[in-house]
Structure 1
Amino acid sequence: MANWLRVGGLAVLALIGLWILLEIVTIIFGIVSWIVSTVVTLAVLALLLYLVYIAFTKLRGGSGPRSRSRTSSSRSRSSSSSDSREKERIFE
C-alpha cells in the first residue's frame, strides 16, 4: 500500500512539475512572440516611412545630390527650350 502511495505521489508531483514547466514555456513564448511582432511592426513602419520619403522627394524635387544633377539637366533643358523658342520665332 505504501508503494502505491509513493508512486501516486510521484505521479502527482510529475504532473505539477510538467504543468509548471509548460507555464514557463508559455510565458517565454509569449515574450518572444511580443518581441518578434514589435520588431516586424517597426520594420514595416520604417519601410513605409522610407517609401513615403522617396515619393515625397520625387514629387517635391529633392534636395540631395540627385537634385544637383537635375538642376544641371534643367539648365540643358532651359538652353534647349530657348533654342526651340528661337525656332518658333523663326517660323512666326
Structure 2
Amino acid sequence: MLKHLSGLLAVSAFFAAIMAMPPVSGTAHAQFVPYEGPYRQMPPPPPHPRREPVPPYRYGMRWERGHWQWVGNGYRWIPGHMVRIRPVRPQPAPFYPR
C-alpha cells in the first residue's frame, strides 16, 4: 500500500511541476533560409520506352532491350541488340580445415 501511495505522490508532484511551468512563448514561426549551395540541374524524365520486336532466341546470346540515354541536352534512343552470354565457370567449394 505504501508503494502505491508513494508512486501516486511522485506522479502528482510531476504533473504539478509541469502545470506550474510558464507557457512557451506565443507563436513560433519557421524562418526561411535560402539555399546558397551549388545546384545540380537534373535532366527531365525520359520518354516512355519504345516497343521493338524481339528477335528469336540464339544459342549463347540474350536480348538487351533498348533504352533512352541522356546525351548533352536531350535523350537519344539506344536500340536493343543481342549480347553474348558470358560462360559461367564453376567455382570450387571453399575448404575449411577443422
Tell me if both proteins adopt one fold, taking TM over 0.5 as the criterion. Answer: no
TM-score (normalizing by structure 2) = 0.25
Query: Which one has a larger percent strand, Structure 1 or Structure 2?
Result: 2
Structure with more helix by fraction: 1
TM-score, normalization by structure 1: 0.26
The higher relative CO (CA closer than 8 Å, separation ≥ 6) is in 2
